[in-house]
Structure 1
Amino acid sequence: ILADDMGLGKTAQVCSFLHALRKMCGAPGPHLVVCPVSTAGGWARELGRWCPLLRVVRYRGAQRCQLQRIVAGVFVVSPATLLQDKAFFLKRVWQVCIFDEAHALRGRTSAISELTPRIDAAFRVAVTGTPISVSPVEVWNIMRFLYPAFGRKLAAPSSGDASQEEHSQTAAILRSVMIRRTKESLELGLPPRIDHPPTLIEMDAEQLALYRAALAGAVADESTEGMSNVLMNLRRVCGHPWMFRIHGNRSANDAALTARERLRVARVPFEESVIVGSSAKMCHLDRLLLAKKQGGHRVLIFSNFTAQLDLIEAMCELRGHSFGRLDGNSLRAERELLMAKFNHAASRIFCLLVSTTAGGVGITLTGADTVVLYDSHFNPQMDRQAADRAHRLGQRRSVEVYRLCVANTIDERIVRMSTFRAGIGDRIVDGATSEASVQQQVIQDIRADARSSAVDQAALADGVEKLARLSARVPSAFEGTTAASSTCQVASACFGCGRADGHRLSCPGCNKWYHATCAEGRTSANAARWRCQRHKCCECGVAAQHEDVVFMCVQCPNSYCYDCLEEDYVSMEGSENGIDFPHLRSSYADMAVDGVPVRRNVFFLTCPQCGGAGQASESESESMHDSESGVDDSD
């Protein structure tokens, strides 16, 4: 188990290890790296940097037939794709199998925990900065991956509270198999991280009435499911009461809408009195952001709720803050582009809104020097991971961490219990004590509060009524409206050869037409589903799926996936506003004429062959090609 603190270069260490195997032992692979989608791009870059002799393969299901012929190199795959194409990975013999963010194996009966011990590998490495999040059982689940034969005979600790003996056994196991360095034990020249005490915020009378109304549900329904709903409702009231309206009006196409459109669907007024004034936390965050902006700082804001991120995004629009957003709906390439943009020295993006679960693990966001934990996670290690997105190698400024907490509410109880449990991993290594579940302890406290609280019944009834109005589903603001019709014109010439004569074959995806000789893959059998060559990468040949981002040239049919895109295109050098990439854009001059809508997964550029950004680097690499030496598997 490689368990260095977050931000100490665990990825670089593993890459150097694979390079040493290739250079010193003649082991070209195949190796397997299983990592979250958000870190896959980072792994590919680090492997290319530290393992120049190894071929790096970003595995996607659509490539399965092509990749079966590759016998060496490093395969990078997400857990979801591993489960989807498990037959491909189980029939291979791997030299090294690496599982990044191995705390994801904490569920003993989860599909990924059952699959990974079956992978045939000569050597295994589990990479995690938090080998224990909440229970010693997690260490034993990682052990099942590292030592499958031993794991089959393993009697793991119970899933409940662990005994002192089980804690001692876990500590002994960790000392035998874990390599761990902490930031405090190394002299890295890393600027300090300043963790401010939780900021206790008082609610106003109206928000307090809503909280008491939600708390009354703990008396009405004490079942496990009922208490889980009560906990969620209490957390929503503490964060922002209008989260009830947004959550209650979710729809299937929410991912395709902007935050402002989602607020419009839920009929949330786009006004300062509602977006900011309805929540004590938002008022405090508003003042904090203004102070940080005046001081020249840049901010990461973490929340566990996407509805809360919608409201914070609306506040940023109202205040004129430049911002980006990274959550579970972000496409892989969108994540990579946003991180490259935010971390660049020339970036002027003031704040980045991040979902704790989707963006709090395994990514680098050193462009910020301030971290705001808007709400706390039940798992204390998730908040630790989130704060360390900014405080890691590459950071040149001191990092300040703020935790917002509403006083005398569930917020304060979660913070108190999480703080109590935050060091459980270290304590187990040193000989720890048994802990109770944070969520179960909070539920017990909430029940006690609900029984003992004495409130004005009239005020309680008023709060219940307001809560019901906020939670009600409302008619969509888009009901009864029709999409505006647009007049589009068919292109005057073939987009492949530029000639205007001949029979036309139109692509329904981008409204371009081609001659039959210029249209790759067009046959009578696939005519209805045909898309032109702009919808697949001209370098690797992979067709763009709905979850992929494609980069289309505006002057020729060339298109690229993110993995094949020249680095010059994702550089902020030359950006006029410090917010947008100078060589990428989401639209082009004749887009309205072509009748093509703006899509979040399509960007436009001028490719190197047409004189775009990558032309210089391409010519330089060609001139150096003859003088370079290497091995076959480095292609």
Structure 2
Amino acid sequence: LRDYQIDGLKFMVEHYRQNLGTILGDEMGLGKTVQTISLFCYLKEKEGKRGPSLVVCPLSVLSSWTKELAFWAPSLKVLRLHNSGKSEKDKKILAENGTNYDVILTTYEMLKVPYLASFFSRTFFHYMVLDEGHKVKGHETLIAAAARRIHCENRLLLTGTPLQNNLVELWSLLELLYPDVFTTLKPFEESFNLNENHIDSNMLFQAQKLLDLFMLRRLKSRVEALLPEKLETRVYCPLSKMQVFWYRALLMKDSALLEKLDRDNEDDDDDDEGISKSSRNVLSNLFMQLRKCSQHPYLFPGAEGSNPEETTVSDLVGASGKFSVLDSLLRTLCQKGHRVVLFSQFTMVLNLLEDYCDMRGWKFARFDGGTSRAKRSYLVNQFNVEHSPFFLFLMSTKSGGMGLNLQSADTCILFDSDWNPQNDLQAMARVHRIGQKKKVHVYRLISAHTVEERIVERAAKKLLLDKAVNHDSNETDASTDKNSLTGTGTGMGVKDMLKDIKFGAQAIFGGNTSFELPTLEEIDQITNR
């Protein structure tokens, strides 16, 4: 173990002795898994504990947990539960032998399976460990309710993103750890409402001090001096003429509603009062369609033409400014010997990217929500193996953004940006993590003068909340500037959506869009390592 990981073990042991629930909030890639395994070993070898601890993790990292346990603690007896079999034989084996294991490893989905839920609620565990603990940030979800029903001596939450959007999420995590203490969320809810530009700076300071009692958080930049740096570059992509056509058509289709909402907005300062549900739904749908247009017009039915089989690589690339920039970027990166992990939120975009890779002859792998558990492990192993033939790994942001180790790549491309900036940080951390030996370059593609540009701006402001509350446990200066946070709304009301749509409309109809793509010299410059 590294020195800071030993410190992490000491922190957890101290909390165990005081019977305190704990959040291990180390930045992604600092080895929260191995620190937890060291805690299990301590409980068995030093405290003489017998019987199981429960680890609940996302499906995407189940195999990783299994391998890490086998590698670091082969003496621990591990039971992996991930099937919904209801045979009487399975139930009997689990009931009679479940307590003979040191670690029971399962997934969040399995917490809701009836016969397993019954076993979990009847069994008393030394520890309940929730990996990617922010999955229980929604206190009213079925998963959070199932986690509360588990009987355990203590609880440990592992999350590199303990706070993502608001202080209510923080309350949800603390309520799970200390249900008798955090009985009401009202103070958390009222102290930080960015939609109304209301910020209680004193409450933020108190939240920092509160977290210091329960959470240990270290950043890679502070504890991993030998970890190569990460450099993020925003690449603004022009819209193609075909994208401009579709963007205009979408705006014109709902122009009457947009004009009405704009007039009402001038007369009324209130955000959503008086606006019908149907109008909100139309506006929300328009916003999503504009996002799709910002990626590629072929996402719309009929846009590709009557015979998609005749589409050439030039057609596919030329129809989207982003694809044109990506094409130049990937060809340059391939020539320079770099390996790339590319993330997108949209399965339909991954489908187009897969067609593009086939046309270009790239050797690639793909991983999304529909990829089976066995195939996930196989693809990751094949990508990371020495002299791997894969140049590119296509991933969905959420499915591939948790717990995976892809440090054999040195480049991360965010084809589109998530509403929640923490999901993008999770994605980057698949490449920039312990074991990485090269400087990691992140390229964030943004369609200029569109709603997408505003999404990125809002996401950047959301990170200020994380910085204000989830500061490094080693930092001494935890001051928060209220003015820097004002206006960084985490939600999207009608007024916000309307502003963002108008932002793109002014460029589209005002003739301010540029069709000039980056030159090969400019692409070469940003890929120069």
TM-score normalised to structure 2 length: 0.78
Aligned with 1:76 (options 71, 92, 105): 105
Measured after TM superposition, the shift of residue 155 of structure 1 is: 4.3
- Please, which runs of 5 or more residues in structure 1 have no aligned partner? 249-262, 458-635
Q: Which amino acid aligns with 2:298?
A: W
Work out whether residues 204 and 468 of structure 2, in 8 Å CA contact, stay in contact via their aligned partners in 1. Answer: no
Q: Which residue of 1 aligns with 2:474?
A: none
Quote the RMSD (CA, aligned, Å). 2.5
Q: Secondary structure at the match of 2:445?
A: strand
Q: Say if 2:454 and 2:500, in contact at 8 Å, map to a contact too.
A: no
Task: Describe the SS at the equivalent of 2:24.
Answer: coil
The alpha carbon displacement at 1:268 in A equals 6.2
Summarize deviations over 1:368-425 as a string: whole Å, max 9, x none: 1100000000001111111111000111111100000111111111111112222421
Gap change, CA 1:12 and 1:218, over 3 Å in 2: farther
Deviation of 1:438 (Å): 5.3
- Alpha-carbon offset, residue 204 of structure 1: 2.6
Q: CA deviation at 1:220?
A: 4.2
Relative distance call for 1:217 and 1:437 in structure 2 (3 A) is: farther
Is 2:242 the partner of 1:186?
A: no
Task: Determine if contact 1:245/1:266 at 8 Å carries over to the other structure.
Answer: no
- 2:27 is aligned to 5
Alignment of 1:67-106 (within 5 A): 67-70=94-97, 71=99, 72-84=101-113, 85-106=116-137
Map of 1:173 onto structure 2: 210
Q: Paired residue for 2:489?
A: 436
Query: In structure 2, what is the equivalent of residue 323 of structure 1?
Result: 364
Which residues of 2 match residues 58-207 of structure 1 at below 5 A?
58-60=80-82, 61-62=84-85, 63-70=90-97, 71=99, 72-84=101-113, 85-152=116-183, 155=186, 157-158=188-189, 160-161=193-194, 163-164=199-200, 165-196=202-233, 198-207=234-243
Match of 1:359, SS?
Answer: coil
8 Å Cα contact 1:118/1:148 also seen in 2: no
Secondary structure of residue in 1 paired with 2:323 = helix
CA distance in 1, matches of 2:189, 2:401: 28
Instruction: Tell me the residue number matched to 2:19.
Output: none
Letter in 2 for 1:189: L
Which amino acid letter does the alignment assign opposite residue 247 of structure 2? Answer: Y
1:237: which partner in 2? 293
Output one character per residue of 1:305-326: Cα deviation in whole Å (capped at 9) or x when no partner.
0000000111100010000000
* 8 Å Cα contact 2:344-2:350 kept in structure 1: yes
Looking at structure 2, the residues matched to 226 and 304 of structure 1 have their Cα atoms a distance apart, in angstroms, of 22
Q: Is 1:34 the equivalent of 2:90?
A: no
Does residue 228 (structure 1) correspond to residue 264 (structure 2)? The answer is no
Instruction: Tell me, yes or no, if structure 1 residue 426 matches structure 2 residue 428.
Output: no
Query: Could you tell me whether the CA contact under 8 Å between 2:126 and 2:153 is conserved in 1?
Result: yes
Residue 290 and residue 438 in structure 1: after superposition, are their counterparts in 2 closer, same or farther (change >3 A)?
Answer: farther
CA–CA distance in 2 between the matches of 1:235 and 1:266? 25
Aligned to 2:499: 445
Distance change (3 Å), C-alpha of 1:89 and 1:342:
same
Deviations 1:53-100 (A, max 9, x none): 211111023244422222132111111111123222111111010001
TM-superposed deviation, 1:52 = 2.3
Alignment pair present for 1:361 and 2:361: no
Higher helix share: 2
- Partners of 1:35 and 1:265 lie apart in 2 by 45
Within the candidate set 341, 348, 360, 2:382 is matched to: 341
Give, in whole Å, the separation in 1 of the partners of 2:369 and 2:417: 18
Displacement of 1:151: 3.5
Q: Which amino acid aligns with 2:351?
A: D
CA distance change for structure 1 residues 126 and 269 in 2, over 3 Å: closer, same or farther? farther
SS where residue 404 of structure 1 aligns? Answer: strand
**How far apart are residue 170 of structure 1 and its match?**
2.3
Contact 1:218 1:446 in 2 (8 A): no
Structure 1 residues 26, 236: closer, same or farther in 2, change over 3 A?
Answer: same
- In 2, the alpha carbon distance for the partners of 1:373 and 1:265 equals 31
Please give the residue correspondences for 1:188-587 in structure 2 after superposition, counting only pairs within 5 Å.
188-196=225-233, 198-217=234-253, 219-221=255-257, 223-245=279-301, 267=308, 269-429=310-470, 430-432=478-480, 433=482, 434=485, 435-437=488-490, 439-440=492-493, 442-449=496-503, 455=509
Q: Distance in 1 between matches of 2:309 and 2:156?
A: 49
Looking at structure 1, the residues matched to 503 and 160 of structure 2 have their Cα atoms a distance apart, in angstroms, of: 36
In structure 2, the gaps of 5 or more residues are 1-22, 262-278, 471-477, 512-529
Using a 3 Å threshold, how does the CA distance of structure 1 residues 320 and 402 change in structure 2: closer, same or farther? same
Asked if 1:54 corresponds to 2:106, the answer is no
SS at match of 2:417: coil
Residues of 2 paired with 1:54 and 1:454: CA distance? 62
Deviation at 1:195, TM superposition (A): 1.2
Counterpart-to-counterpart distance in 1, 2:69 and 2:291? 41
Contact 2:340 2:393 in 1 (8 A): yes
Q: RCO greater where, 1 or 2, for CA within 8 Å and sep 6 or more? A: 2
Q: Deviations over 1:526-554 (max 9, x none)?
A: xxxxxxxxxxxxxxxxxxxxxxxxxxxxx
Greater CA drift, 439-448 or 2-11: 439-448
State the distance in 2 between where 1:216 and 1:29 align.
65
Given residue 240 of structure 1, which amino acid in structure 2 is its aligned partner?
H
User: Is the contact between residue 370 and residue 400 of structure 1 (CA under 8 Å) also seen in structure 2?
Assistant: yes
Q: Is the 8 A contact 1:217 1:230 kept in 2?
A: no
Q: State which drifts further: 447-456 or 315-324.
A: 447-456
Q: Distance in 2 between matches of 1:452 and 1:352?
A: 37
* Alpha-carbon separation, structure 1, partners of 2:305 and 2:365: 20
Q: Using the TM superposition, give the Cα deviation of residue 106 of structure 1 relative to its aligned residue in structure 2, in angstroms.
A: 1.7
- Aligned residue pairs: how many? 441
Give the superposition deviation at 1:124. 0.7
Secondary structure at the aligned position of 1:4 is classed as coil
Aligned equivalents of 1:378, 1:193: Cα separation in 2: 21
3-state DSSP of counterpart to 1:99: strand
Q: d(CA) in 2 for partners of 1:47 and 1:139?
A: 29
**Retained in 1: the 8 A contact 2:79–2:105?**
yes
- Asked if structure 2 preserves the Cα contact closer than 8 Å seen for 1:216 and 1:450, the reply is no
Partner of residue 523, structure 1: none
Q: Percent identity?
A: 34
* Distance across 1 between alignment mates of 2:68 and 2:360: 38
Deviations 1:88-124 (A, max 9, x none): 2111111010001111112121111222122111011
Residue aligned with 2:329, SS = helix
Q: What is the identity, as a one-letter code, of the residue corresponding to 1:90?
A: S
| Contact 1:100/1:127, CA 8 A, preserved across alignment | yes
Report how far residue 49 of structure 1 moved: 2.0
AA partner of residue 32 (structure 1): L
TM-score by length of 1: 0.66
